[in-house]
Amino acid sequence: MRILAVICAVVVGGASALYSPSSGVIDLTPANFQREVINSDEVWIVEFFAPWCGHCQQLVPEYQKAAQALKGVVKVGGVNADEHKSLAGQYGVRGFPTIKIFGLDKKKPEDYNGQRSAQGIVDAGLKAAREKVHAQLSGKKSGGGGSSGGSGNADDVLELTDSNFEKMVLKSDDMWLVEFFAPWCGHCRNLAPHWQKAATELKGKVKLGALDATVHTVMASRYGVQGYPTIKFFNKGDVEDYDGGRTASDIVAWANDKAAANVEPPEVKQIVDDESLDSACKEHPICIIAILPHILDCQSECRNDFISMLTKLGDKYKQKMWGWVWSEAMAQPDLEQALDIGGFGYPALAALNAKKMQFALLKGSFSDSGINEFLRDISFGRGRTAPVRGAKLPSVSKVEPWDGKDGALPEEEDIDLSDVDLDDVDETTKTEL
């Protein structure tokens, strides 16, 4: 019955396919998290989960039971962290399920490390509620997000006009969120501090601008602005309506998702010298190192198939901002030894954290599904790691970049026997014998 309940919970909608609307577990997303959790006066218990996670599925009945027991006392929510990666990243979620308690200070939620049972979760919720009541009784104020949107630098919101819009926004390589507003609009005034704070937080990622649509009517008309505020997303000629919330955290989460989605896919580069390895591994949080078979064992079509597969996986995980490189088998023996590559044959693959000098080695199949499963574990901080031998990246041998052609054995030199007297050879052989 327990297994059946878990299966039903996965099939039924609500809470991103793990909790039904009647479960008591509130579905939390980047669009409502600030409003429901951070800006509220209630104590919250929030589970960050992934629908495919077996431990999360096993927790479902206990978590639902806790939500029903705490109804009216402590709120219980769930975040599909597989779908809402920006929200999970904001709270440092690295594995599933992760449960956090948002109590007196909403900006500093506490990790729940108790038993994964309804009783354990209920006890933790009641403890947080008591602590909040006692703190408030002594005059301490809650550290919630507030409604003012916090502070930001007003200069980070760029002023847009009919005359500068095309140059600054439409011809820009940057991503833009643009607010079309009216000075007399109350909703626009309420949005202003949030827009300002979001602009400061997003600086360097996404630009935020504001255009007075009552003065600069040409651009407002071009983009069909009918009400205020209207927010649109611009990226290299593409225009999209903003459909997120109106708090700073909502805007930041929405923009971060867009920024991640529009990241260019990484190029899988060959390791030809120290610089090529350093740029992939030292300038990225993790680098994926593939060692492909020798060209005589795997000709150009075979090698290109491997590189194409790695390129597609790089595109799939591009939001992680990883570096991707490859080398021919035994072209970089010191690197292979440092990462224990080669013991299982070629092709081989490792994920390296150059900052910590730790790596994880692919033990499964070198295939799209096998590597994808390995990388998925890496992306959530799972999997066994080992220290790099020597605790540093070895120097890389300089090699010529692959020319894209098939390999060929070196031609054998013809030996000219025309000047050899075979009779003399026979006599010499007899004498030696």
139 pLDDT more than 90: no
Task: State the total domains in the chain.
Answer: 3
Q: Is 89 inside a domain boundary?
A: yes
* pLDDT for residue 212: 95
- Band (pLDDT 50/70/90 cuts) for residue 381 is confident
* pLDDT for residue 345: 87
9 pLDDT more than 70: no
Residues 123 and 193 in one domain: no
Q: End of a domain among 261, 288, 303?
A: 261
* pLDDT for residue 6: 39
CA-closest candidate to residue 106, choices 34, 159, 55: 34
Class of residue 68 by CB neighbours under 10 A (exposed 0-12, middle 13-18, buried 19+): middle
pLDDT greater at residue 362 or residue 428:
362
Q: End of a domain among 207, 228, 261?
A: 261
* Per-residue pLDDT reduced to its tens digit, 41-86: 899 999 999 999 999 999 999 999 999 999 999 999 999 998 888 8
Residues 256 and 293 in one domain: no
146 pLDDT more than 80: no
Residues 49 and 100 in one domain: yes
Q: End of a domain among 213, 241, 261?
A: 261
Kindly state the tokens that stand for 214.
Answer: 């009552």
What would the mean pLDDT of 343-365 be, rounded to a whole number? 91
Q: Is 145 inside a domain boundary?
A: no
Residues 172 and 233 in one domain: yes
Angle, helix 118-137 to helix 54-69, in steps of 10 degrees:
50
What would the mean pLDDT of 304-327 be, rounded to a whole number? 92
> Which residue out of 188, 281, 287, 298 is catalytically annotated?
188
Q: Is 298 a catalytic residue?
A: no
Residues 328 and 347 in one domain: yes
* pLDDT for residue 414: 64
pLDDT greater at residue 305 or residue 107:
305
Residues contacting residue 367 through CB under 8 Å, at least 6 positions apart: 309
Kindly report which listed range (255-259, 279-283, 427-431) carries the lowest average pLDDT score: 427-431
Q: From CA 78, how far away is CA 58, in angstroms rounded?
A: 15
106 pLDDT more than 80: yes
What would the mean pLDDT of 97-108 be, rounded to a whole number? 90
Residues 62 and 178 in one domain: no
Q: Is 380 inside a domain boundary?
A: yes
CA-closest candidate to residue 25, choices 36, 38, 39: 36
304 pLDDT more than 70: yes
Q: Amino acid letter at 423?
A: D
337 pLDDT more than 50: yes
Q: Is 401 inside a domain boundary?
A: no
247 pLDDT more than 70: yes
> Which residue out of 8, 53, 287, 302 is catalytically annotated?
53
Residues 133 and 172 in one domain: no
Q: Is 302 a catalytic residue?
A: no
* Per-residue pLDDT reduced to its tens digit, 362-378: 999 999 999 999 999 99
The four Cα atoms 284, 290, 296, 301 give a dihedral, to 10 degrees, of -80
* pLDDT for residue 145: 42
- % of the chain exceeding 70 in pLDDT: 88
Q: Is 410 inside a domain boundary?
A: no
Residues 251 and 274 in one domain: no
Q: From CA 364, how far away is CA 380, in angstroms rounded?
A: 18
Residues 246 and 286 in one domain: no
Q: What is the CATH number of the domain that holds 229?
A: 3.40.30.10
* pLDDT for residue 413: 67
Residues 26 and 114 in one domain: yes
124 pLDDT more than 60: yes
- % of the chain exceeding 90 in pLDDT: 61
Residues 187 and 100 in one domain: no
- Band (pLDDT 50/70/90 cuts) for residue 424 is low
* Per-residue pLDDT reduced to its tens digit, 222-242: 999 999 999 999 998 899 999
* pLDDT for residue 431: 52
pLDDT greater at residue 208 or residue 95:
208
Q: From CA 14, how far away is CA 20, in angstroms rounded?
A: 5
> Which residue out of 8, 56, 298, 302 is catalytically annotated?
56
Q: Is 397 inside a domain boundary?
A: no
Q: Is 281 a catalytic residue?
A: no
Residues 66 and 116 in one domain: yes
Q: Is 295 inside a domain boundary?
A: yes
Q: Is 29 inside a domain boundary?
A: yes
Q: From CA 396, how far away is CA 197, in angstroms rounded?
A: 45
CA-closest candidate to residue 337, choices 381, 378, 386: 386
Q: Is 53 a catalytic residue?
A: yes
Q: What is the mean pLDDT of the chain?
A: 86
pTM of the model: 0.46
Kindly state the tokens that stand for 21.
Answer: 């609307």
Domain of residue 356 covers: 269-391
Phi and psi torsions of 45, nearest 5° = -110, 125
